[in-house]
Structure 1
């Protein structure tokens, strides 16, 4: 073997060894990087799981009025959305289009492992009781009805007391001495609105009359508009609808008539929320606030804190600020506001008892 060939062979062998070493280093680096990424991915996944586990899942089932009823369903959903914005819960709603939707909608949340399922509205009482009995480990809560079950918390309101106060407003404001009430469905809850309103009008203005009518549902704005048209034609200048989405039609009729002009200014009294925020102060005389949002937030907070007990009934009254007028009432004179406050204190003290049925 000549000398030149030996030198070339040595150089080739050295080059092979260098390339092999580089390849091994690259492979090892790739393996180490993959291992590192895998470990990081695992850590992130566990952290994400921890975050999700820390936030309870809350489900809400509406009655047929729907989640955008500008009334109590919407108020309940906004309370959950506020908690979600604070990163305290994950929430979802299911909208019922008929009574037959109640049980399937409730079951969807309960069987989906939600930490709390809300029933919004008196009409969901029987469905809630049935679902609670079939799922004793589930936690449920209901607005406007009492379900006697160890895993259900019930929240009701003294609607009659708050309605008495807006009745006082109507009695002192009417120019025609004719006011009206439109109910949604004829139920104990809506009856409390009706009789409280009538009592307040009578206490403030014995000369005023109150015409009572019912729309037959909470999802009938066209019916609400038609009924309002008849009542305004009959001389009423203030209408108090306690009818969910049906009441939106009352507002629309009053707005239309006020734009057209007339002998008397026409008013609507809002319900559940401060409805001047939706329809404006030009038509909203005041509103009978029903703090469904506070009730939903308080009970949901029990789930967050781990203090939910079930089997409890809470009735929110005028004394608890569970019902009443909005903080701002630009359409009411100081004289009217003073009279409202006078009656409020008499109700809270027990001097005045407001009928409930």
Structure 2
């Protein structure tokens, strides 16, 4: 099969007056053969999810969308393997290698150990992993030299989300917000750190006293469900936060946001959530009425770019880590959608100023879980 390989730079998020919005990137000129025909490629890209699955409306789905866009452009057929629990990770990676994958993207911190082990055993295969540095040490071996980490300094965007949540809760008179996580891992806690720091910034700027329940950044302790499943535990944890009076809640952990929405609809109709990873009001319009704003990571764009680059580079695939930030548009806030007209006066301008200060280095979001 012949297909042109197009190249794009990592990108995704940019400020636009009222919000930090997803932005696209342009393609470079197409490659062609000497006779004017399109360049032929032989490339098998593969993707493996964590236990959240492809329909999590979060990081797994976002990675799949990025892979799907890349393979459509390349004109190749991928193998996309969905894991149902942690016991699937090793066998699924073995199966992908057995099927001849040239490039494998592992979605999530929880696949770290299995991915490093697979990469060390298969140095001819190129890998990327989302939300992990792939710096595990197995049997005295050095870090696998064939894995590119795709990580995100989500604390920067969560800082803006925490500031916005505090402003909303102060306006309502409740002055209490909350958060809880799925797995107790850095890629979850980094959201919670940034969220609390943003609330503290709002309190400092406005001489306010908005309280955070569910997480203590200094102690690095808080509420976790123990998994990324939308189950009774997740719902009970959401209720625990809501019952303490929080009227804005940040659930961090893929599908667990659905448990928070269920708890809100059942008993706390005046409360809202913040979405994570994707623009939840767009991904799931049925919950737009309870989603104040979303803290986004451009996982789709990072996966797309890594796949295109792996197809182009072959054995010379560059494994230099990618770190998504506000500056390189790897993280940011969505629009406030239906809530635009109800926001505290001046909030969007304040958020834009905070973002500019973070990008300029004038304001540092100091999370121990940042990449």
Shorter-chain TM band: 0.7 to 0.9
Partner of 1:230: 240
**How far apart are residue 325 of structure 1 and its match?**
0.7
Counterpart CA distance in 1 for 2:129 and 2:65 is 16
Name the structure 1 match of 2:352: 341
3-state DSSP of counterpart to 1:240: strand
Q: Match of 2:78, SS?
A: strand
Residue 140 (str. 1) matches residue 150 (str. 2) = no
**Cα contact 2:183–2:225 (8 A) shared by 1:** yes
Matches within 5 A, 1:149-298: 149-174=144-169, 175=172, 176-205=174-203, 206-212=208-214, 213-257=223-267, 265-277=270-282, 278=284, 279-298=286-305
Runs (5+) with no aligned partner, structure 2: 1-37, 135-142, 215-222
Partner of 2:265, secondary structure, is: helix
Partner of 2:65: 78
The residue number in structure 2 matching 1:102 is 89
Distance 2:348 2:338 in 1: 10
**Greater mean alpha carbon deviation, residues 91-100 or residues 187-196:** 91-100
Runs of 4+ in 1 over 6 A off after TM superposition: none
Number of the residue aligned with 1:111: 98
Q: Deviations over 1:254-278 (max 9, x none)?
A: 23446xx5xxx21010000000020
1:72 Cα shift?
A: 0.4
Change in Cα spacing, 1:55 to 1:355, as seen in structure 2 (3 Å) is: same
Residue 299 of structure 1: aligned partner: 306
Superposed displacement of residue 127, structure 1: 0.8
Whether the aligned pair in 2 keeps the contact of 1:55 and 1:90 (CA below 8 Å) is no
Structural RMSD (CA): 2.1
For residues 154-189 of structure 1, give each alpha carbon's deviation from its aligned partner in whole angstroms, at most 9, with x where no partner exists. Answer: 111001111101001101001211111111111111
CA contact (8 A) 1:221 1:247 kept: no
Indicate the SS of the match to 1:344.
helix
Where does 1:49-64 land on structure 2 (aligned, <5 Å)? 54=41, 56-64=43-51
Distance between the aligned counterparts of 1:54 and 1:318, measured in 2?
34
Structure 2: distance between partners of 1:55 and 1:138 = 14
* CA distance in 1 between partners of 2:181 and 2:228 (Å): 9
Higher RCO structure (Cα 8 Å, ≥6 apart): 2
Per the alignment, residue 66 of structure 1 pairs with 53
Report which stretch shifted further, 288-297 or 243-252: 243-252
Distance in 2 (alpha carbons) for counterparts of 1:146 and 1:219: 24
Q: In terms of mean alpha carbon deviation, does 60-69 or 248-257 score higher?
A: 248-257
Contact 2:289-2:338 at 8 Å conserved across structures: no
Residue 321, structure 1, aligned to residue 326, structure 2: no
Residue by residue over 1:206-248, the C-alpha shift from the partner in whole angstroms, topping out at 9 and shown as x without a partner, is 4011111211111234322222222222211010011111222
- On the 8 A contact 2:180/2:251 being kept in 1, the answer is yes
Distance 2:103 2:312 in 1: 13
Output the TM-score relative to the length of structure 2: 0.77
Q: Which moved more, 1:96-105 or 1:178-187?
A: 96-105
Number of the residue aligned with 1:125: 112
CA 1:178 to 1:188, structure 2 compared with 1: closer, same or farther past 3 Å? same
- CA distance in structure 2 between the aligned counterparts of 1:250 and 1:137, rounded to whole angstroms: 44
SS at match of 1:241: strand
Deviation string 1:42-83 (CA, Å, 9 cap, x unpaired) is xxxxxxxxx9x7362221111111111110000000112223
| Equivalent residue, structure 1, for 2:79 | 92
- Structure 1 distance, partners of 2:133, 2:123, is 17
Q: Equivalent residue of 2:346, what SS?
A: helix
Q: Output the TM-score relative to the length of structure 1.
A: 0.80
Kindly state the Cα deviation for residue 319 of structure 1 after the two structures are TM-superposed.
0.5
Instruction: Determine the structure 2 residue equivalent to 1:34.
Output: none
Higher helix share: 1
How many angstroms apart in 1 are the aligned matches of 2:276 and 2:158? 9
